[in-house]
Amino acid sequence: EPEVTQTPSHQVTQMGQEVILRCVPISNHLYFYWYRQILGQKVEFLVSFYNNEISEKSEIFDDQFSVERPDGSNFTLKIRSTKLEDSAMYFCASTGSLYEQYFGPGTRLTVT
Amino acid sequence: KNQVEQSPQSLIILEGKNCTLQCNYTVSPFSNLRWYKQDTGRGPVSLTIMTFSENTKSNGRYTATLDADTKQSSLHITASQLSDSASYICVVSSGGSYIPTFGRGTSLIVHP
């Protein structure tokens, strides 16, 4: 069964450093999303992406964040200058049908 | 402000027993409501998706109900298994804007 994959599974970085989180959505899906989940808290929407551009973004998704689909398979989330409060699980998801979303296993980002 | 409230926050039941989880929302206008199962350290997995016109949907031992008038949903788990131990998350999306509103989840523990 096709699945969303994410790399790395765990990323440790120092405050102020740039990180790129990578996702490979399911191949025939057209809508892509990033979410984050701070430990012990609820999942929060960051951004949705369709047709090579951002379609929706939350207040969390400020100028420090960017997304890109550099080729036909990868979907990346970049954090330019990480802060301690960026430590969280980051989930990528993709959608084929109207509402069904498939989530990846997540990348745990630890900012020290 | 769109909100999704879930209850109880946590629940412990014995294997084989049934349980019901609740979700109340204030999201408007309503588009769809989804229930997810999230194992610890993993991405959410979709259980059911309901739109305005649907009031019951089943997926194996999981049955979700939706009352769009009272803005309430429930997830009923029949004959619980140890593998049902997870967080169950209610997510509501509004029409016109994709951005979903997540509940905090109900943590279910099934004991043998």
Query: Which pLDDT belongs to residue B41?
Result: 86
Query: Which pLDDT belongs to residue A98?
Result: 63
Q: Does B1 touch chain A (CB under 8 A)?
A: no
Could you give the 3-state DSSP secondary structure of residue B27?
Answer: coil
Are B43 and A42 a contacting pair at CB < 8 A?
Answer: no
- What's phi and psi for A15, nearest 5 deg? -50, 135
> How far apart are alpha carbons A55 and A70 in whole angstroms?
17
> How far apart are alpha carbons B12 and B33 in whole angstroms?
25
User: In angstroms, what separates the C-alpha of B107 from chain A's closest C-alpha?
Assistant: 11
pLDDT tens, N- to C-terminus, chain B (112 residues): 889 999 999 999 999 999 999 999 998 888 899 999 999 889 999 999 999 889 999 999 999 999 999 999 999 999 999 999 999 999 998 876 678 899 999 999 999 9
Are the CB atoms for A110 and A87 separated by under 8 Å? yes
Q: Give chain B positions within 8 Å (CB) of A93.
A: 43
Question: Nearest by CB to A99, which of B44, B45, B49?
Answer: B49
Strand partners, B33: B50, B92
Residue type present at position B46: S
% of residues, chain A, pLDDT over 90: 82
Are B43 and A41 a contacting pair at CB < 8 A?
Answer: no
- Other Cβ atoms closer than 10 A to A28: 8
Are the CB atoms for B51 and B32 separated by under 8 Å? yes
Window from A10-14, A64-68, B37-41, B96-100 with minimum mean pLDDT: B96-100
Q: Does B23 touch chain A (CB under 8 A)?
A: no
